[in-house]
Chain A
């Protein structure tokens, strides 16, 4: 049914040219037996940035991705079902009090990772969130100063040419976004009207799609299929930003290469990766391993990599790997407008209010951002089935109002909880690897956020003129699972992303986030990865890549 997933493409000294329909760019290649400086697992928001940073610093780098290497112009259809090929659809067991939806909801499987299908919302953490515990009294602190993160945000925002408002209304002053904001679509203006009626601020949402040409990428044409892969390259994903940079700087990318296990020696250091590619198991030697498989695959890989010095899984001496998995509350309110909105035009979230991220007079911890919505037909229909149990003519009648719908949805902070976690089940997948089990349940604060947000959004929508409101609940994103912290007792990695118990193992993806914040995580993952990349360069320059015993 799918036209399908391409075969291995990045091989024999060349990789796909993502700006062409069928072209290639040269790629440096390494043998399995060659001891490369860095082997990176995953090429998404964390791994893709890291591959470019390390290759540009002169290291030899091989980056592995389980997914295919797409050329958006030729491979991405304007059709939802076909584009299921972007998602991680291997079955994973979703368990707990509030089991979360995986697959298209949060897990990409392609070179470029989930950024190939992300909504492009590029918001920064509020500075105080890096000291959530000591400044705001909840969650945990990041072992990183917010100014260092903000410098990294500057860097990745420029790398993605984020199109954002001339003046962002919340938080400390920041430099100007590299590109100007897009025209806010009708759906976004519903949010704007609601916000103005309730006296809270709003802004055109900073998003990672071009508002002016850039190199070989054209500006956005507002086709609205962003969430199922941008077929014009206007979307600035890792696939068409950091991956070409990494290749140009000499990194090798191996597509359709599933890393199963990290090999360690008797002293506990990583020596290489066992991976499956082209129908066979192979082994890549390396001096350092960087894991960036996101919050499920990273813990899964570590837990599946027990060795002589790591009895309970790699870097899991304290049993912390896989714990404190977080999502975002993704509740929404929808309504019918008299105007024809046609919310499928333009990127799905073109307007935002971060009011409740920066307002501290409220009866819950953390915060949330509200964004305007523009779901494609099956996405919207399935959310009505899942939430309302709508089916039959009732569903068809509801869907007939599609062009007059408007909606508001939050990205709401979820508190870290050690009981929300990734473990390995007894079942195995097609490659014989243990299937991960994800256990999740909301805490009381998380529920309070959802309640507060649904109430506030209902007021906003009503003020904007919507009628027949209804609510949906859900989750988005993944964070945590291998938190970054201050000591081996409280975390899996240190502030440099280096595993406490394995000095040549690094993690640079969303799994190291100690808290989730009330914004979409991709920009923070990228910034943190860029920051860790700088740290690795600095450590290497001082000859400290191997930690003194």
Chain B
């Protein structure tokens, strides 16, 4: 059950870096994302441990030598107070929701397994999150926090948005990636443009980006 999907093993979206599919601002934004992984600024070290384990459970990457960094970008979003525009009435402000959420998950792990969340094996972490999503919680830290709302709409939501905004994730799912000024011509099913990746022929990882 832990096999990572690899529908497009040879595909690398970055191979189009130097083509008309990528414009200047997109290169700038993606280069920044790839090259400058932010340092921890917001969360305390103990929170960070829980956060890193949470990211690794929401989107495990045992298949990657260099996993897509997730926790650093969550931390950066909190440091910059970068919100989604929705504060669910049942939840506190975004920063507060994250802090209390991480604490509650950690407390739940201790309540159920007697260990901290990040010290649990992967399958235990996953089943703990499933229980939280089912609102089956016992740690007092939850108090007025609605577990499912918090887990799905705040915590997992942000982690997933970071993961699928990374070129490695685009390559993983076969997404065409940035496309400006050049878009697409062949819009019919099962047709690809010449500049779209040939999925049958594995390519070496692009060396174009320095």
Contact = CB atoms under 8 A, between A and B. Distances in A.
Direct A–B contact in complex, judged by CB atoms less than 8 Å apart = yes
Interface of A: 1-3, 74-82, 84, 87-96, 99, 101-105, 107, 183-186, 189, 220-225, 231-232, 337, 339-342, 344-346, 377-378, 381-382, 385-386, 389, 391-393, 395-397, 399-403, 437
Nearest to A74: B25
Contacts of B84: 89, 102-104
A3 B1 CA distance: 39
- Majority SS of interface residues in chain A? loop
B58 A392 contact: yes
Contacts of A102: 84-86
A362 B162 CA distance: 43
B189 A89 contact: no
B152 A101 contact: no
10 contacts: A1-B38, A1-B76, A1-B77, A1-B82, A77-B25, A78-B178, A91-B94, A221-B180, A221-B181, A377-B170
Given A77-B29, A377-B164, 7 more contacts: A77-B26, A91-B83, A94-B88, A386-B152, A389-B133, A393-B3, A402-B175
Contact of B89 (A90, A232, A397, A437): A437
Contact of B4 (A1, A104, A396): A396
Contacts of B28: 3, 77
Contacts of B88: 94, 99
Interface stretch (B105-113, B136-144, B153-161, B202-210): B153-161
B176 interface: yes
Counting chain B CB atoms within 10 Å of each CB, the highest count among A74, A90, A104, A396 belongs to A396
B173 A399 contact: yes
Contact of B164 (A399, A401, A437): A399
A344 B86 CA distance: 26
Nearest to B178: A78
B181 to A, nearest CB: 6
Contacts of B162: 81
A167 B133 CA distance: 49
B48 interface: no
Contacts of B94: 91
Interface string B75-99: 0110010111111110001100000
A232 B180 contact: yes
B60 interface: yes
A533 to B, nearest CB: 30
B129 A391 contact: yes
B182 interface: yes
Interface of B: 1-7, 22-26, 28-30, 32-33, 38, 57-60, 73, 76-77, 80, 82-89, 93-94, 126, 129, 133, 148, 151-153, 156-157, 160-165, 169-170, 172-185, 187-190, 192
B156 A391 contact: yes
Report the 10 A-B pairs with minimum CB-CB distance, sorted nearest first: A103-B85, A221-B183, A78-B178, A223-B183, A400-B5, A95-B89, A223-B179, A339-B189, A186-B189, A185-B187
Nearest to A400: B5
Contacts of B32: 1, 3
A75 B152 CA distance: 31
Contact of B85 (A3, A88, A185, A377): A88
Contacts, number: 214
A92 B189 contact: no
Nearest to A90: B85
A189 to B, nearest CB: 7
Contacts of A382: 157, 160-161
A395 B4 CA distance: 10
Contact of B153 (A386, A399, A402): A386
Given A92-B85, A385-B160, A386-B157, A3 B187 contact: no
A91 B29 contact: no
B63 to A, nearest CB: 9
A91 B93 contact: yes
A389 B136 CA distance: 14
Nearest to A430: B81
Contact of B190 (A74, A221, A339): A339
B26 A91 contact: no
Contacts of B7: 400-401, 403
A189 B189 CA distance: 9
A98 B187 CA distance: 37
A81 B23 CA distance: 16
B23 A231 contact: yes
B29 A82 contact: yes
Given A345-B187, A385-B160, A402-B173, A87 B85 contact: yes
Contact of B184 (A78, A107, A221, A401): A221
Nearest to B170: A377
Contacts of A339: 189-190
A169 B5 CA distance: 43
Contacts of A89: 82-85
B203 to A, nearest CB: 17
Contacts of A391: 57-59, 129, 133, 156, 160
A95 B33 CA distance: 34
A533 B58 CA distance: 51
A75 B84 CA distance: 20
A378 B164 contact: yes
A3 B29 CA distance: 6
Contacts of B59: 391-392, 395-396
Given A99-B88, A104-B84, A391-B129, A397 B180 contact: no
A75 B25 CA distance: 7
Given A91-B93, A389-B133, A389-B148, A103 B173 contact: no
B15 to A, nearest CB: 15
